[in-house]
Amino acid sequence: MNKAQLVEAIADKLGGRQQAADAVDAVLDAMVRAVVAGDRVSVTGFGSFEKVDRPARYARNPQTGERVRVKKTSVPRFRAGQGFKDLVAGTKKLPKGGEVSVKKAPKGSLSGGASATVKKAAAKKATTAKKAAAKTAVAKKTTAKKAVAKKSTATAKKTTATAKKTTAAAKKTAPTAKKTTATAKKTAPAAKKATAKTTAPAKKTTARKTTAKKTTARKK
């Protein structure tokens, strides 16, 4: 049975050929898109469709026997449900009239609806955990940067305070230096006068001695 024959088989039940064709196209499109996205499509009692990744491997060319490198690829896979298998194997009989019921999954069915739900829940939890870990890492980095900034600010404040103290000490020392200089300037003229006074009598005494010598020489 091909697609056209499938449409013809269900046309009467869906109200016409066009409605049947649209229904078949819609179902197949939804299944293909889900499998390509990596989801598992399960139809209870019928089977499941899923995407399987095959790693790179070596194979042999059946015609030449040459060893060939096969690249990594992904392929679709269908697993029949237990109910479908039982009907095909003949352990269960098809109903004479009406449709094959696939509403209830037989015991041991491989439809995997529950497992798919569990997988999705686990994936969501893992994603949430990763996001939380990323947020925590960002928060730690931000806190560390703030701490470094606070330490730098404190160091800068201490350096500024020390500079202010040094400037104040320099200002206090400056007037004292000015006073010392002024005192030295006042003392200098007094020292010059004292030296001049001391030298003047000494010169007069020398002159008197010279005059006395001259007088004694004349008398002789």
Domain boundaries, the chain: 3-111
pLDDT at 53: 94
Q: How far apart are CA 135 and CA 149, in angstroms?
A: 21
pLDDT greater than 60 at residue 103:
no
Give per-residue pLDDT as tens, 75-91.
999 999 999 999 999 98
* Predicted structure pTM score: 0.43
pLDDT confidence bin for 93, thresholds 50/70/90: confident
Domain 3-111 has CATH 4.10.520.10: yes
Which of 72-110 are b and which e, b meaning 16 or more Cβ less than 10 Å from the residue's Cβ? eeeeeeeebbbbbbbbeeeeeeeeeeeeeebeebbeebb
List the single range of 33-37, 117-121, 126-130, 142-146 with lowest mean pLDDT: 117-121
